[in-house]
Amino acid sequence: MPVTTAVQGRVLVVRLDRDAKLNAMDHAMTLGLDAAMNRLEDDDAIWVGVLTGAGRAFSAGSDLADPDRNSTERGGPYGLVRRARRKPLVAAVNGLAYGGGFEMVLACDLVVAARSARFALPEVKRGLFALYGGVFRAAHALPPNLARELALTGEPIDAARAHALGLVNRLCDDNEVLPTALALAESICANSPVAVRESLGVINRSIDAAQALAWQLSAEAAAAVRASDDSREGIAAFLGKRAPRWSGH
């Protein structure tokens, strides 16, 4: 199974499990994550979710060999990125979270990261656009100049820098990522689930309202990039394992 789940008390642990592809998201993984997020929302016995990755990465983002079927009706991209959630979701980031993987982190409510974790929006290196909210969500979660650096250079930042700037709630040793995330989830579960849901709802709905225009602008930018020669060249170069030859068109 490319996505597995386990229940620990009131916490649902969801694991992306496609290590051979650095947990890159394809159609099967999207369906698996969507089902897990549906369970988180619909099962009254579960109060908090933890999302993590198996092996070397949290997620490398979209699998460019299968890029066109990675959205669901209820959750949007990956079954998660545009989901209206009532329950908290903690990202437990092991290894790299690049592209869509970082966008999944930004769609979560709290972030625990290993010291080895890295965050990046490398789409520009492939002639692509971070169309799942990465550009503007990074600008909300981080200082604008750092969001620009991520979006324009495609280079990663490490977990220590992300923690210092407030993106990461808990920074820990690599073998402590999941235990630390579970401890954070349990501290939420000690509180009234009604009060937690309502508090989270006010925060997230206010953010979503502020980002409504950003989603529209993001879709327009993504369409312009997708129609470009550079976009086709970037994907061909990636799949061909060669350096891209940009035309600027």
Q: Which residues carry out catalysis?
A: 103, 123
In which element (H, E) is residue 223 found? helix 212-226
For 62, list phi and psi in degrees, rounded to 5.
-75, 140
For CA atoms 134, 136, 137, 139, give the dihedral sign.
Answer: positive
Question: Using CA atoms, how far apart are residues 59 and 63, in angstroms rounded to an integer?
Answer: 10
Angle between helices 144-153 and 134-141 (to 10 degrees): 150
Residue with the two structure tokens 């597995």: 4
- The rounded radius of gyration (Å) of the Cα atoms in the chain is 17
Residue 183's alpha-carbon distances to 40, 176, 188, 193, in angstroms, are 18, 10, 9, 16
In which element (H, E) is residue 96 found? strand 96-98
